Structure 1
Amino acid sequence: MKSIVSLALRAFTDPGLAPTRLTASQAVVNSQLQSLALLGARLYVAQVFFLSGLTKLRDWSSTLALFNDIYQVPLLPPTAAAYLGTAGELVLPVLLVAGLAGRFAGAGLFVVNLMAVLSLSADDLSPAAQAQHALWGVLALAVVLWGAGRWSVDRVIRVV
């Protein structure tokens, strides 16, 4: 019990500046918890973007109108932005859920998220929407930085 409390205290107080000295059993628990957190992040972010992509597909003419009239995606023509954004929202989440090319999928969804934020004016993005986009961006970035985790296809094929 004392080692669990010690591990929890270290997890909440370690600034990450120096390597943490964990016992073998603590390292296993820490690794499993990190993988669980990464799996949760992957599943949550994938669901958000995949459902958004399905919404765009359901009414493609409205999607094209939105990209022409409201979304001002930098550097891309509206039609190309609609196709690329929708494709990214449908393909990248599937990769992310499987943990196949997890870092690539996380980076791709980070860019899709960033473009979504940049394409709207500040008046169109409420504080709650800003917070959601920030959360999705941080979770996608975590997958980019730490990989898809132990419970992924990347790990099975040793790409991590």
Structure 2
Amino acid sequence: MMKTVLTSLWQAACDAGLERPRQMAAAPAALTSQLRWLALLLARLHVAQVFLLSGLSKLRDWEITLALFQDEYHVPLLPPELAAWLGTAGELLLPVLLILGLATRFAAAGLSVVNVVAVLSLAEIAPAALLGHQLWGTLLLALLLCGAGRWSVDGWRAGLTRGAGT
């Protein structure tokens, strides 16, 4: 009963042309929209940092990287040297796309493959390391589903194409 009275009063105020109730009702939606773009940006930057640093560490000492791929990482279906090259290239190139927010879904899909292969190729993985991979997988899934967001090259390009039609 009380809820319907309040709803009726709210609707009457809006129908009477009072802008304040409309502005108050729109504020949470606007804030949520801005927070969504911020969350997508932070997800892109976090995941990019993790994978880029991993790729740089592999590049820093290539002989150790090759030894790890031959002895520790058991990547299915690929020879160790090819797996090392592909994994390192993915960890170096795809994060740059994430940082820019360019081809974000492609980059997120590629890093998801790298992430899953990393987990599957280790014979033993520490629980804390597994949690890290699960977090990165979740953030990558969000980027796959939502895209880069407004604060990205993808978002900027989408705005240009929408604006061209109006």
Please state which band the TM-score falls in when normalised by the shorter chain: 0.7 to 0.9
Equivalent residues in 2 for 1:88-99, closer than 5 Å? 88-99=90-101
Which residue is 2:149 aligned to? 149
Alpha-carbon separation, structure 1, partners of 2:106 and 2:29: 27
Cα deviation, residue 108, structure 1: 0.9
Q: Deviations over 1:83-127 (max 9, x none)?
A: 000000000000001000011111111110101000001xx2011
- Residues 1:117 and 2:108 aligned together: no
Equivalent residues in 2 for 1:61-140, closer than 5 Å? 61-121=63-123, 124-140=124-140
Which residue is 2:40 aligned to? 38
Alpha-carbon separation, structure 2, partners of 1:30 and 1:85: 36
Q: Normalized against structure 2, the TM-score is what?
A: 0.79
Could you tell me which runs of 5 or more consecutive residues in structure 2 were left unpaired when the two chains were aligned: 1-24, 162-166
Q: Structure 1 counterpart of 2:150, which letter?
A: R
Which residue is 2:26 aligned to? 24
Q: Deviations over 1:24-74 (max 9, x none)?
A: 333221111011111111100000000000000000011011111110011
The alignment-based identity, stated in percent, is 65
Alpha-carbon separation, structure 2, partners of 1:50 and 1:105: 12
Could you tell me which runs of 5 or more consecutive residues in structure 1 were left unpaired when the two chains were aligned: 1-22
Q: Structure 2 counterpart of 1:151, which letter?
A: W
Q: SS of the counterpart of 2:158?
A: coil
- Residues 1:51 and 2:38 aligned together: no
Which residue is 1:12 aligned to? none
Cα deviation, residue 157, structure 1: 0.7
Q: Structure 2 counterpart of 1:28, which letter?
A: A
Q: Structure 1 counterpart of 2:101, which letter?
A: G
Q: Structure 2 counterpart of 1:134, which letter?
A: Q
Structure in which a larger fraction of residues adopt helix:
2
Q: Structure 2 counterpart of 1:66, which letter?
A: L
What do you get for the CA RMSD once the two structures are aligned?
1.7
Alpha-carbon separation, structure 1, partners of 2:140 and 2:32: 20
Q: Structure 2 counterpart of 1:36, which letter?
A: L
